[in-house]
Every structure is written in structure tokens, then in C-alpha cells.
Amino acid sequence: MYRFFVCALGIAGTVLGQSVDSYISSEGPIAKAGVLANIGPSGSKASGAAAGVVVASPSTSNPDYWYTWTRDSSLVFKSLIDQYTTGIDPTLRTLIDDFVSAEAHIQTVDNPSGGLTSGGLGEPKFNVDETAFTGAWGRPQRDGPALRATALITYGNYLYSSGNTTWVTDTLWPVIENDLGYVVSYWNQTTFDLWEEVSSSSFFTTAVQHRALREGAAFATTIGQTSSVSSYTTQANNLLCFLQSYWNPTGGYITANTGGGRSGKDANTVLASIHTYDPAAGCDAATFQPCSDKALSNLKVYVDSFRSVYSINSGIASNAAVATGRYPEDTYQGGNPWYLTTFAPAEQLYDALNVWAAQGSLNVTSISLPFFQQFSSSVTAGSYAASSTTYTTLTSAIKSFADGFVAINAQYTPSNGGLAEQYSRSNGSPLSAVDLTWSYASAVTAFEARNNTQFAGWGAAGLTVPSTCSTSGGGGGGGGGSTVAVTFNVDATTVYGENIYITGSVAALSSWSTGSALLLSSANYPTWSITVNLPANTAVEYKYIRKNNGAVTWESDPNNSITTPASGSTTENDTWR
């Protein structure tokens, strides 16, 4: 059933290398075709989807992924736009233009998160005919607009430099401007993470928002649309500052979410590193570049967290690749490895190897030392030139380590090359949604990284973290002044289809609106939770509400009330009344 097996995944050498080379040569075209098959209207598995719409998966039950997600679609089209703008595939122009048109329309569709100018860009998914999905969901998800802006800016830079300036300013820029404006206004508001489970602040979201505003400011300047450049730069600085707060120095890893009650070890962080990779930034730690000491330390902790979780990982050496999933506590669809999360460490390591080769050296710090000591127990902190034996030893071992993740996925890829969402933690058989578009795209980008295919950077080089940080958003979303993180926990039992929301007396709590009230996470049911950034040193009133198929039920009087602290964070533990 399977293409081939690699018995000694921890062994470096020609056998593993040839196996990975063989897999990539056959799987690469299959993955690219898998992406294209899931894009409407002509994709072979996307019949009924509108032009330029990316279907997450053809699966319509258990799970039903017959929708288009802004995040997934933007990541998929970023990979296609990269191929088009670098000349790898010059046939993609029409498809990309269809995507631009589709997203321009979707931006205007009123949905449960709001309208174009009232928060609707944070709606995570839509029906494949571009109409609003109105069922209960983890909303909003604030990474989508940033990722879409990044994809379209890459396209816009290419077209503008090619002389197609009018179309860029008249057609493309308005779509990008909407997304950047959303990020400016809402970056400091609570968001569901990319797995749609935890409502708090998310490292992945913060990282991609920071990237979008940086490259947005440069792009706007290039095309002469400078009215908002100052706000983009101001909030980018605030985002860079906030990004540092996710680092856990004691554990040596990036905490993926500020809420959720889990360890915080999560593929979210590795995915953020590869999707904010800028070759020109070297091993910059402030933006958690793939070869930075923090990103490497984080990768080790993330990978190690799965060594004893899945039975298919048993017997694998402690410094060899293993199958990885979203996070070790995962139970979704049985809590299994994902193809895209196992490709992600490989891609991060390939990116790191490419940067080290370009700069002719690598640096080991006290933070990254445990990562490097996996491959040479005697290595010490210091800088190692490419001419040194230590450099050769480390990079050769790390290349084999990276290839090991690809080999793991190869081992559990069916003979037809199809990539589902997950594969069984016990025997490796494909599980969950079939032909997941994001799985295919993750294979494409990992293989390109291994090949050191160069794509455009985004301005991550030379950035300085501000000495003082503001956590206030811009525009109408975040308000002014300093804010503090308040976690609301409420004990509430619910019936099927019913969800718990919060609303209150300040804008961050939707100003008593039921329509835009904030949905709490049920990850720790019957405790429902959310973390919201509220104005510091402020008296705030709030209430929880229930929603069930449009019916709204308020908890009984009186209002709950708190006075937020002047700094730091606080938690409110309530019981539904």
C-alpha cells in the first residue's frame, strides 16, 4: 500500500537521501496537481466552487471541509504566486487573477463576524459559492486578512515592477488596503487560533500580522499610496514588541497561545517561523527566523513533545525525526500526526541550512545549544565557519534530521500520492479529510525549501524591538492607551448547538452588542474561556449570553463588574446565573 519504508529513520547517508529524493521526484508533481484540483471552477475535485475559490478538501462528511477558509486559501495561493513570480510556473496568471476577484468579492460579504468595515474580514470560512457560512464556529480568526495581504503584495510587487501599475493601484491595492486596515484595527483583539479551538492571542497570528504590516508599508510606499503607511509602521512596531512576549525562557520554547490551558507546545510556532521566513534577515531572533536560536530551541521542544505520544514513533532515536501533530494534547479526530505539521520542521530546517550556507557560518548560543547538542554532544556555544569540521558535522546531521521528517511522511503516503489531513498515530493509515489542499501545499513549499528555491523577502532584516511597547490597536478596533489581558472563565452547561458569548460596557467587549459578542472557547467544557485585552485601570461591566440558532439568552441581573489592573493580567472565574 505504501510507496516505501525507511526502517532506520535516524541514519544519515545515501540510503535515506536517495529515498527522500525519490519521494520528492514523484510526490512533488502529485502535490502540485492536488492543489490545483481543489481550486474552482475547473479543478477536478472542486466542481461547484466559484472561480478562484480554494476548497479545503473534497470531504463533505466526517469532517465536512467543503468550504473555503481565508487562511488556507491565502497560504495556498502564496505558494502559487511565488511559483508564478519566479518563473517556475508561468501558466498560473489566470488562476491567480481569479483568486483576486474571488477574495475581493468575499471581503464584501456580510457574515456573522460583521461587514467589510465592521469586523467581517475576520470571518474564517465561507461556502464555496462565496456566500456566508452562518453556523456556529470559532470566530473571528484574525490571521486570514494578514495572510491574504501577504500573498497579494507578492503578486502586486511583481506586476508593478513589470509595468502593470494601473491594475495594481486600481484593482489589487483596494483589496490589500482592506486587509491591512483590518490588521491595524484589530490586531490586539482576541482571536481564535489557526486550529480554531483557543480564543486568546496566538503567536502565529501575531507573527503573520507583523509581516503583513511591514511589507504593506513598503508596498504602499512603492505604489504611491502613502496615507496609511505611518499607521502600518506604528502597529508593526507594536506587534514586533508583542511577539517577544510569547517566548518562554524557562522552557526554551514559544508559547503558542496566551490562553487555552495547554502546554503551548504547538505546530503553530513552527508554521509561523516558515511563513515569516525572510532570507535577508539571517538568523534574527526578534522575528524568530528559522535559524534563530529561539526558533531552533523551540523546534526541538516541539518535536520532542511527540516522541512518546504516538506509537508509530516508538523505537526511533532521540535525535531523529518523528511524526508530529498540532500539539501533544490534541484529541481532534483521535489526535494524530498531520502531514503538514510533519513537513513544517523539515521546511524550517531547510530554511536554516540555506541561510547558514549563504552567510558561510552558523552560530550556537546558550539558547540553541540543546538543539545542536543532539547532533554533536561536544559542541559548545560559539560561531563556526563553513570551513570548520564542526560546521560540516552539524549541517550534515541537521540535513539528515530534516530529511527524516520528509521520510516519515513518505512512509505513510499511500501509493497514489494522496495526502489526507492526518495519519493514524498507531499504524500510519491516512485519516480525516482526504486530499487536504493545505497538506499538498505544505509538501510543495517544503520541497522548494530543500531545493533552496529563493523567494522574495519582506523586510525583516535590521528591525529593532521598541524599548517601550503599546498594546493598543489603531482605528476602531483596539482603542487608545494601555491594555491588560483579562481571562474570563464561566462554568456553564449547554445543550447541542448552544454556545456561550460575552459582551460588556467597553468596545473590546462589543459595547453590549449581542450581534458582535465574543464567543468563548469550550475546550475545557463545562468551563468556557476567553482572554480579552481590556483598557487598563478601568471599571468594566459585562454579562455572558447564550446563543442557539439565533436565539439569545442573557444571564440574570445584575451585571458582572471588575476594575482592571494598571498592568499585567488577571482572571475572572464566574458561574452562569
Domain segments of the chain as ranges: 1-37+266-450, 483-575
Q: Identify which of 5-9, 19-23, 556-560 has the greatest average pLDDT.
A: 19-23
As a whole number, mean pLDDT of residues 79-84 equals 98
As a whole number, mean pLDDT of residues 74-82 equals 98
> Given this model, what pLDDT does residue 261 score?
84
Question: In Å, what is the CA distance from 234 to each residue of 206, 317, 393, 532?
Answer: 15, 47, 43, 21
Alpha-carbon dihedral angle through residues 557, 558, 564, 569, given to the nearest 10 degrees: -40
| Single pTM value for the model | 0.82
- State the DSSP string of 370-439: HHHHTT-TT--SEEEETTSHHHHHHHHHHHHHHHHHHHHHHHTSBTT----SEE-TTT--EESSSS-HHH
- Give the H/E segment covering residue 500: strand 498-504
Confidence of residue 412 (pLDDT cuts 50, 70, 90): very high
Q: Which of 391-405, 410-424, 500-514 has the lowest mean pLDDT?
A: 500-514
pLDDT by residue (tens digit) across 133-176? 999 999 999 999 999 999 999 999 999 999 999 999 999 999 99
> Given this model, what pLDDT does residue 13 score?
34
Catalytic position from the list 177, 196, 329, 498: 196
Higher pLDDT, 9 or 264: 264
Percentage of residues in the chain with pLDDT exceeding 70? Answer: 95
Terminal-residue alpha carbon distance, the chain: 56
pLDDT higher than threshold 50 for residue 558: yes
Confidence of residue 341 (pLDDT cuts 50, 70, 90): very high
- Is 216:153 a contact under the CB 8 Å cutoff? yes
pLDDT higher than threshold 50 for residue 4: no
pLDDT by residue (tens digit) across 342-364? 999 999 999 999 999 999 999 99
- Is 128:67 a contact under the CB 8 Å cutoff? yes
What CATH number was assigned to the domain covering residues 483-575? 2.60.40.10
What CATH number was assigned to the domain covering residues 1-37+266-450? 1.50.10.10
Is-catalytic flag, 179?
no
Task: Return the bridge partners of 551, or none.
Answer: 548
As a whole number, mean pLDDT of residues 494-522 equals 86
- Sheet harboring 483-491: ordered strands across? 521-524, 527-535, 483-491, 569-575
pLDDT higher than threshold 50 for residue 450: yes
Distance of CA 68 to the CA centre of its chain: 16
569-575 and 483-491 beta bridge pairing: parallel
Q: Which of 19-23, 246-250, 257-261 has the lowest mean pLDDT?
A: 257-261
> Given this model, what pLDDT does residue 535 score?
82
> Given this model, what pLDDT does residue 567 score?
75
> Given this model, what pLDDT does residue 537 score?
80
- Is 114:518 a contact under the CB 8 Å cutoff? no
Confidence of residue 484 (pLDDT cuts 50, 70, 90): confident
Catalytic position from the list 27, 72, 179, 193: 193
CA distance 145 to 182: 7
Angle between helices 267-275 and 203-222 (to 10 degrees): 10
- Give the H/E segment covering residue 27: helix 14-37
Residue 125: what are its φ and ψ, rounded to 5°? -145, 155
- Candidates 77, 463, 486; CA nearest to 289 is 463
Confidence of residue 471 (pLDDT cuts 50, 70, 90): low
pLDDT higher than threshold 80 for residue 479: no
As a whole number, mean pLDDT of residues 218-222 equals 98
C-alpha cell at 483: 491594555
When the pLDDT of each residue in the chain is averaged and rounded to a whole number, the result is: 92
Confirm whether residue 438 is marked as ligand binding: no
Is-catalytic flag, 196?
yes
- The single-letter code of the amino acid at 388 is S
Burial (CB count within 10 angstroms: exposed 0-12, middle 13-18, buried 19+), residue 177: middle
Confidence of residue 7 (pLDDT cuts 50, 70, 90): very low
CA distance 66 to 51: 15
Confidence of residue 18 (pLDDT cuts 50, 70, 90): low
pLDDT higher than threshold 90 for residue 480: no
Confidence of residue 17 (pLDDT cuts 50, 70, 90): low
3-state DSSP call for residue 321? coil
> Given this model, what pLDDT does residue 467 score?
79
CB neighbour burial string for 190-221, b if at least 16 within 10 angstroms, e if fewer? bbbbbbbbbbbbbbbbbbbbbbbbbbbbbbbe
- Is 420:436 a contact under the CB 8 Å cutoff? yes
CA distance 394 to 186: 42
Confidence of residue 523 (pLDDT cuts 50, 70, 90): confident
> Given this model, what pLDDT does residue 533 score?
84
- Is 202:257 a contact under the CB 8 Å cutoff? yes
